């Protein structure tokens, strides 16, 4: 199956290339993409020159959802909306894929999701419930990052959890604070940030602080 991949060739310059997608695994057409700061650094050329030389040309974006076009195993139906998992394990490793040196990450170690079609192993695809907001669902990968950190915190922290601090007033800080309010409803969530206009959006937090004050 013919596919068009949109790769960043050099800072601020994209090129189209025609590739072929094999009809094995799950074929997904990306529909909603979320731009990470890491993507912006590649696009703006703010990464070190040796890193850019090593990784470009490369398709960007690792936060995305899409529509199933084809599944060779028949476990997904055409039209199913799914989250595409960017972390891809290679080979056998005793570690979790998140911590394995053999894993590669889309939009960093190899092509991300800026293409007409993406071929994924079945275990790199998760079906989205029908009632989910698709615009919000594009952030599921980012939400999973916050949830992973909170899960490890719950397992390991032995200190009281009556007050929880979140440092950062960007997207990840917002999502982390929101999850903490849901997962620790009896705890106070305090948010520390630099930008008052961002902090004002944390209306659900118990307290907000500008760190320069």
The confidence band for 16, taking pLDDT boundaries of 50, 70 and 90, is very high
Q: What is the pLDDT of residue 103?
A: 85
Q: What is the pLDDT of residue 99?
A: 77
Q: Do 120 and 45 belong together in one domain? A: yes
Dist. CA 81–CA 180, nearest whole Å? 27
Q: Do 65 and 163 belong together in one domain? A: no
CATH number of the domain enclosing 81:
3.90.180.10
Q: Please list the residues that pair with 105 across neighbouring strands.
A: 87
Work out the angle at residue 79's Cα, subtended by the Cα atoms of residues 31 and 71, and round it to the nearest 5 degrees.
100
Dist. CA 3–CA 115, nearest whole Å? 7
Dist. CA 26–CA 123, nearest whole Å? 9
- How far CA 44 is from CA of 11, 51, 107, 184, in Å, comes to 5, 13, 15, 39
Contact 85, 121 (CB under 8 A): no
Q: Do 123 and 19 belong together in one domain? A: yes
Q: What is the span of the domain harbouring residue 186?
A: 143-210
Q: Do 151 and 47 belong together in one domain? A: no
Q: What is the pLDDT of residue 95?
A: 65
- State yes or no: pLDDT of 97 exceeds 80: no
- The residue with tokens 């070190």 is 48
Q: Please list the residues that pair with 82 across neighbouring strands.
A: 66, 127
Residues 17-73: tens digit of each pLDDT: 999 998 899 999 999 999 999 999 999 999 999 999 999 999 999 999 999 999 999
Q: Do 134 and 150 belong together in one domain? A: no
Asked which of 8-17, 84-93, 110-119 is least confident by mean pLDDT, the reply is 84-93
Q: Do 90 and 189 belong together in one domain? A: no
Residues 151-208: tens digit of each pLDDT: 999 999 888 889 999 999 999 999 999 999 999 999 999 999 999 999 999 999 999 9
Q: What are the strands, taking DSSP E only, across the chain?
A: 2-10, 13-20, 26-34, 58-59, 63-71, 81-84, 87-88, 104-105, 118-120, 125-127, 163-167, 188-193, 207-210
The confidence band for 94, taking pLDDT boundaries of 50, 70 and 90, is low
Dist. CA 69–CA 64, nearest whole Å? 15
- The residue with tokens 């094999």 is 22
Q: What is the pLDDT of residue 148?
A: 93
The confidence band for 83, taking pLDDT boundaries of 50, 70 and 90, is very high
Dist. CA 199–CA 168, nearest whole Å? 9
In the chain, the N- to C-terminal Cα span, in Å, equals 58
Dist. CA 109–CA 19, nearest whole Å? 18
Contact 184, 159 (CB under 8 A): no
Q: What is the pLDDT of residue 92?
A: 72
| Domain end point (choices 93, 122, 138) | 138
Dist. CA 151–CA 98, nearest whole Å? 14
CATH number of the domain enclosing 167:
3.40.50.720
Q: Do 102 and 19 belong together in one domain? A: yes
């Amino acid at each position: 199956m013919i596919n068009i991949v949109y790769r960043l060739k050099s800072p601020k310059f994209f090129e189209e290339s025609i590739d072929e997608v094999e009809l094995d695994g799950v074929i997904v057409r990306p529909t909603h993409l979320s731009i990470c700061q890491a993507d912006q650094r590649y696009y703006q050329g703010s990464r070190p020159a040796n890193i850019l030389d090593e990784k470009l040309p490369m398709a960007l974006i690792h936060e995305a959802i899409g529509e199933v076009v084809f599944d060779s195993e028949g476990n997904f139906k055409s039209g199913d909306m799914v989250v595409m998992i960017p972390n891809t394990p290679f080979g056998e490793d005793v570690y979790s894929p998140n911590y394995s040196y053999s894993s590669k990450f889309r939009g960093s170690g190899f092509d991300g999701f800026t293409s007409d079609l993406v071929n994924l192993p079945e275990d790199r695809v998760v079906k989205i419930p029908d009632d989910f907001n698709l615009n919000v669902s594009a952030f599921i990968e980012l939400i999973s990052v916050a949830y992973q950190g909170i899960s490890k915190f719950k397992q390991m922290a032995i200190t009281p959890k009556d007050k929880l601090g979140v440092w950062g007033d960007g997207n990840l800080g917002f999502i982390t604070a929101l999850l903490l309010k849901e997962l620790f409803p009896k705890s106070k969530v305090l948010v520390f940030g630099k930008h008052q206009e961002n902090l004002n959006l944390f209306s659900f937090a118990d307290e907000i602080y500008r760190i320069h004050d």
